[in-house]
Amino acid sequence: MADLVVGIQWGDEGKGKIVDSLAKEYDYVVRYQGGHNAGHTIVVSGQKIALHLIPSGILYPHCKNIIGNGVVISTKALIEELKPFKDLQGRLFISDKAHIILPYHEMLDIAKESNADKKAIGTTCKGVGPAYTDKIARIGIQMHDLANPKILEQKIEQALYALNPLAQEFGLNFPSKDMLLESLQQDAKVLVPFMCDSTQLLWNAQNNGKKILCEGAQGSMLDIDHGTYPFVTSSNTIAAGASSGTGLAPRDIKRVIGIAKAYCTRVGNGYFPTEDFGKDGEYLGVKGQEFGTTTGRARRCGWFDIVAAKYACRLNGCDSLSIMKLDVLDGLESVKVCTAYEYKNQTIDYVPTDYQNVKPIYTEFSGWDKVAGIRKYQDLPQEAKTYLEFLQQQIGVKISLISTSPERDDVIVC
């Protein structure tokens, strides 16, 4: 059976730390969607390690790590990410069905964002969206194509032909077929040895009683179907995406662990009801070091949104919650929580489709001095306990873990 870690906000919840903390108990960690537009930061003995494509279990020698078929892969970015690690053969596996991000995907991403004016999504411009677009249009190039130069050449030619109208529309000069082919053949020398039928690998692992942990990227409120559309990512970030992105059946997933910060953040444009534009929002950004792992962009900061959290927990079927970065709230005089929305002159407790029209209704709590580094629940200040117990009661899902600093071991298991 497999367990699943999923973000229930707008991404950047701290999933990397949780997966790193849990991975020692698992035989396999598998990433099931997204691309190098997402980043997980792990802090070990004060050293920050940023991962974008490689699963967070890579820091444990016993753990086998799989980049699943639902991921879109920049071959150049992955090769660069591999460099700090030694001898990953037998520990890293790449699905032969995963699609490849090519230079023209990045060019299209940048061009579309630049021409979108006020409707820009605020993407990372890493080519992820256009790569998923080509996947759906059936002109994508998959990892297994790297092992067959003739088929690879044909598919590059087909894709360039299909995308030529877009290139003309945006005035783009795509790399030639020969340039792309030569570049991918060089990348193939590094990556093909890691390639496998990852679904079969996972099925065999299950048949042999191995423990599997599925790791998502971004957060539930960015899901292509259930997020704040159109300001979303290009894949299914919720638990349902783990099945299509790995080949595991829904019934194979035993436990879903939802991850949330003790406040909320969002990168890029889009609806964010609890965003704080004042000094408290600035405080959260500075104290929480809220800058994107991938882009370095400052994240927008605001208060915990219980309505959105309940929605995401229901979408994912969360069995438990991990609350991250509680220590960032240290020192605030008061802490707010959104418990309902004002919507069309009514008070509602659900997420409507026209999410841009809601206004948050807050409940306010007394702040606390310090929780940083605390590892036992009984040692938390009473104000912090009151805050956490309110979140648990309102969301209706048990809080099983609390993080009190970026360090790997600074957690409270409840």
The set of catalytic residues is: 12, 40
Please give the Cα distance from 128 to 189 (Å, whole number): 23
Compute how many other C-beta atoms are within 10 angstroms of the C-beta atom of residue 170: 14
Beta strands in 81-142 (DSSP E): 92-95, 99-101
Please give the Cα distance from 29 to 58 (Å, whole number): 8
Output the six-digit token pair for 307: 């309505």
Distance (Å) of CA 170 to CA 12, 107, 113: 32, 10, 11
Please give the Cα distance from 255 to 32 (Å, whole number): 16
111, amino acid identity: A
Please give the Cα distance from 12 to 41 (Å, whole number): 9
Please give the Cα distance from 309 to 9 (Å, whole number): 7
Please give the Cα distance from 30 to 63 (Å, whole number): 10
Please give the Cα distance from 68 to 195 (Å, whole number): 11
Compute how many other C-beta atoms are within 10 angstroms of the C-beta atom of residue 105: 27
Please give the Cα distance from 29 to 23 (Å, whole number): 7
Please give the Cα distance from 101 to 118 (Å, whole number): 26
Rg of the chain (C-alpha set): 21
- 87: which residues sit within 8 A by CB, 6+ positions away? none
SS3 state of residue 80: helix
